[in-house]
Amino acid sequence: MKRLLSACLLASLPVVSACTEAADDAEANLPGDIDNNPDAQGEGGKGDAWNADNDPAQLARSLNYRLADLPKQGKLDKPVWKDRYPTAPANLPAAWADTYWPTYEGSTNNRWIDRQTKSPLEKYDAAYNAAAGCATQPAKMCGATAKADWDQYFTCAGPAAKWQMKSFQSLYQQIDGIDNDGDGQKDECDSSDREGAQGWWGLCHAWTPASLLEPEPQHAVTLNGQTFEVADIKALIITLYDKTDALMLGGRCNAETIEHDAEGADANTECMDVNPGALHVVLTNFLGLKDMAVIEDRTASDQVWNQPLVGYSISKQEKVTATAANACVGASGSTWKFNTSAKSLYEVVLTTDYLVEGSASKLPLGMASYTSHDTYHYILELGSTGKIIGGKYCTDSVDDHPDFLWTPKGVSTSSYGRNPFVDLAKVRQLINLSISTSQPPPAGNVKTYESTTAVEIPDNAAAGASSDITVPDTFAFTSLSASVDIKHTYRGDLRVSLLKDGTELAVLSANVGGSADDLVQTFTFAPAQLGGATAGKGKWTLKVVDNADADTGRIAGFKLDFTTAR
């Protein structure tokens, strides 16, 4: 059923463009059309399209394609997970940010607090798998001694930690003592190399469904002798969502660049979707008319960056002539030749709201400070009764649009391909304990300091650009959130770090994000993640280094929020 529905959605809007049948026929069998579902509001319950398991197949039986009925703005108002966690506090966010647990750092076996504190999987092994684990982890994830160091670690590691290091993606190739890429070197430490994991590999494909289908842990939980911090619990549920039952709309683009001909047609058809007509129908139904989980791969090219979609708004939706529509998509003439069934054309400008990654933290991150935006420009094709039957991106969005959309149903019923030593029921026990009010997080005051002075980032220059905030007050902080607003046309060029009084305390982003624009994100740290720093007073610096040619940008803003004890 899942495969059939997904194929139906994939085929629906794009294929209509090539159809030569009458317009009414083109609109007659749109997948899930509410007009073809007389029981949508009846006792059969098909119109009640979501439940604790968030089955998107239910909503697919009651999609509204009529443009006049579709709201021009929408957001995820009700948490999708609410029915599964009926006693959860009402003020929890509908979705939440987290790190994507980069593979090259050890995935969810990373000791994110400090080298002495167990990783999320090591804590799980000690609490649930009767495996005390190792006192230390090797200091490096690559290099000449990596194999010997990690072989020693595997003699004492528990099963969940060991599986993640040996079986997750290509992580083990960094420490296996083998020349996997045939370049004459073993386990080299080069992020541009093909020995092991690339810098952008991680668990964003698992964080995104987890953030929509599970509530955010709110405080630490001590169980079976182990203290699981907020980020530890997130890491465990994300580990489980490494394999997710889901429906997909659109195909993955595997091209590094997208080519087009003079008349606006795409030379790489898998890189043209997700069709904007389908995008419009899904967003307006899932987030405008319903509260449904939907995720995008927001980069149109070969890299995959999954982001949860939490809202949208439409700033332009105007009927246009075929001449104007052709000009928008880079074609010419007074006849719209891309879809002979289209009876009217609308020019649309739609902005999405999506969550960005954060950092591992002892505190919940929520979603308010982690929401970013993209704008898409496209032509909608309507049939004779006003239903959307297709669409085409305008020239300013043809290279910059979602590659595919997908809607998660839940953790896969099979553990094949994901860590088999982490149990869903046990992790949900931790989540339930963490969202209870019996262990509230410690309250505190927040001190905010901000710089809004724009600083240009020099292209391919080691000196980089710096934005400074001088904190004149004397106080000790228990957590620090650093919010950055960096405008740049190729995020993967950037190394971004946080310094205090000239000493680097943390790397916020290290050449990840590929061709995506901008880095607008909040990073939250406990003092242990900043080398033990707890004093707020001093000069704090955001340093951004662009280490590749061509693309440029600027630091648009930099803010520090210090949480202090009451």
Identify the band that residue 551 occupies on the pLDDT scale cut at 50, 70 and 90: confident
Average per-residue pLDDT for the chain:
82
Nearest to 232 by CA among 413, 82, 101: 101
Average pLDDT over residues 510-523: 76
- 248 pLDDT more than 90: no
Residue pLDDT, tens place only, 384-402: 999 999 899 999 998 888 8
- 408 pLDDT more than 70: yes
- 23: enclosing H helix or E strand: helix 23-28
- pTM across the whole model: 0.72
**Peptide bond preceding 512 in cis form (omega within 30 of 0):** no
Average pLDDT over residues 209-219: 95
Identify the band that residue 215 occupies on the pLDDT scale cut at 50, 70 and 90: very high
Identify the band that residue 218 occupies on the pLDDT scale cut at 50, 70 and 90: very high
- 144 pLDDT more than 50: yes
- 329 pLDDT more than 80: yes
| Better-predicted residue by pLDDT, 209 or 182 | 209
CA–CA dist 398, 520 (Å, integer): 23
Nearest to 123 by CA among 515, 443, 502, 421: 421
pLDDT at 2: 26
Is 306:204 a contact under the CB 8 Å cutoff? yes
Report the half-sphere exposure of 545 (CA within 13 A, side-chain side).
11
Beta-strand pair 479-488/519-525: antiparallel
pLDDT at 179: 86
Residue pLDDT, tens place only, 352-393: 999 998 889 999 999 988 999 999 999 999 999 999 998 999
| Better-predicted residue by pLDDT, 238 or 259 | 238
Structure tokens at 450: 């901000």
- Amino acid identity of 57? A
Strand (E) positions, 426-500?
Answer: 444-451, 455-457, 465-471, 479-488, 494-500
Residue pLDDT, tens place only, 95-106: 999 999 999 899
pLDDT at 3: 26
Measured in degrees and rounded to the nearest 5, phi and psi for residue 51 equal -150, -165
- 15 pLDDT more than 50: no
Residue pLDDT, tens place only, 258-282: 454 545 454 335 555 578 888 999 9
| Better-predicted residue by pLDDT, 405 or 274 | 405
Structure tokens at 400: 């910059």
Identify the band that residue 441 occupies on the pLDDT scale cut at 50, 70 and 90: very low
Percentage, residues of the chain above pLDDT 70: 81
pLDDT at 565: 75
- 531 pLDDT more than 80: yes
- 194 pLDDT more than 80: no
Secondary structure letter of residue 31 according to DSSP: T
Is 310:76 a contact under the CB 8 Å cutoff? yes
Angle separating helix axes 120-128 and 230-240, nearest 10 degrees: 80
Q: Distances from the Cα of 500 to the Cαs of 471, 480, 503, 533, in angstroms? A: 10, 12, 5, 9
Average pLDDT over residues 185-192: 74
Identify the band that residue 491 occupies on the pLDDT scale cut at 50, 70 and 90: confident
Nearest to 13 by CA among 350, 393, 362: 393
Q: Distances from the Cα of 154 to the Cαs of 160, 163, 220, in angstroms? A: 11, 10, 28
Nearest to 407 by CA among 277, 236, 240, 291: 291
Looking at 165-179, 202-216, 263-277, which range is the least confident one? Answer: 263-277
Structure tokens at 20: 């030569």
pLDDT at 25: 52
pLDDT at 41: 35
Residue pLDDT, tens place only, 60-96: 557 889 999 999 999 998 999 988 888 888 899 999 9
pLDDT at 257: 44
Is 380:277 a contact under the CB 8 Å cutoff? yes
CA–CA dist 397, 404 (Å, integer): 14
Strand (E) positions, 363-432?
Answer: 371-382, 388-393, 404-411
Domains within the chain, CATH numbers bracketed: 2-88+273-410 (no CATH), 103-243+422-435 (no CATH), 444-565 (2.60.120.260)
Q: How crowded is residue 64: how many other Cβ atoms within 10 Å of its Cβ?
A: 22
Residue pLDDT, tens place only, 16-55: 322 222 334 556 555 555 565 444 333 332 222 222 222 3
pLDDT at 256: 45
Average pLDDT over residues 454-462: 93
- Amino acid identity of 553? G
Average pLDDT over residues 225-240: 96
